[in-house]
Amino acid sequence: MLSRPVPGNKHYRFMLVFAATFVFLSLFTSSLEGASVSDLTLIDMNGNKVSLFDVTGNKTLLLYFWATWCKPCRLATPQIVALAEKYNDRITVIGINVGGVDSPKDVKKYGKRHKITYPLFIDSDNQMIEAYSIHAIPTVILLDTDGNILFRGNELPENLEQFLPK
C-alpha cells in the first residue's frame, strides 16, 4: 500500500519540488514564445566575427544548439542537414556548438563527415547559451526576420511548415 505524502515526508518534498520545477519550466518556456532577442556577434570556424542577423538575410532563422559528443545531437544532425537543404530558399540554418569541449578542428571534422552545408559556430564564451537560456542539447530555436522566437524545443517541430513564410 502506498503512503500518502505528508509534510516532512521525502515523497512530499519530492512531489513539491517536482511540481514547482514543472510550473517554472512551463512558465519560462511559454514566456519565450514571441519574445524578441537581441542581435549577437559570433565567431565562425575561421575566426571571423559575424552578426547573427547578417547571416540570415531576410529569412526565418533556425538556431541549432549541439555538440559532437551529444548522442541525441548526432541522431538529429541528418534531419537538420536535410531541412537546411529542403528549405534553403526560405530558412537559414546555423549550427552553434556548445558544451566547451569541442575544438574548431573537431567541429570542422564533424561538419565534413556529416556533409553539413550550413554555417557552424562555437559558443566558446557561452554568450549564446546565456542569451537563449539553453539548458539542454539539442535545442532548436526558430526566429522570424525581426528576431522574435517562433518555436523552441529539443527537436524539430512536426509542423515546421506553419512557421515558415510562404
Distance CA 160, CA 80 (A): 12
Do residue 81 and residue 121 come from a single domain?
A: yes
Cα 63 from chain centre: 5
Do residue 66 and residue 107 come from a single domain?
A: yes
Write down the pLDDT at residue 38.
54
What is this structure's pTM?
0.75
Do residue 101 and residue 23 come from a single domain?
A: no
Do residue 67 and residue 142 come from a single domain?
A: yes
Q: Are 59 and 91 in contact (CB under 8 A)?
A: yes
Write down the pLDDT at residue 120.
94
Which portions of the chain are predicted below pLDDT 50?
1-3, 11-37
Do residue 19 and residue 85 come from a single domain?
A: no
- Where do the H-state alpha helices sit in 57-164? 71-86, 104-113, 127-131
Do residue 54 and residue 23 come from a single domain?
A: no
27-60 confidence digits (pLDDT tens): 343 334 444 445 677 778 887 788 776 777 778 8
Do residue 83 and residue 158 come from a single domain?
A: yes
Do residue 117 and residue 152 come from a single domain?
A: yes
Write down the pLDDT at residue 24.
36
Backbone angles phi, psi at 79, to 5 degrees: -65, -40
Do residue 79 and residue 1 come from a single domain?
A: no
CA distances, 98 to each of 72, 89, 115 (Å): 14, 27, 19
Do residue 116 and residue 47 come from a single domain?
A: yes
Q: How many domains are there within the chain?
A: 2
Which grid cell is 91?
Answer: 530558412
Domain ranges, residue 155: 41-163
Write down the pLDDT at residue 121.
92
Do residue 81 and residue 23 come from a single domain?
A: no
Positions marked active-site: 70, 73
Do residue 28 and residue 45 come from a single domain?
A: no
Write down the pLDDT at residue 5.
54
Please report, for the domain that includes residue 151, its CATH number.
3.40.30.10
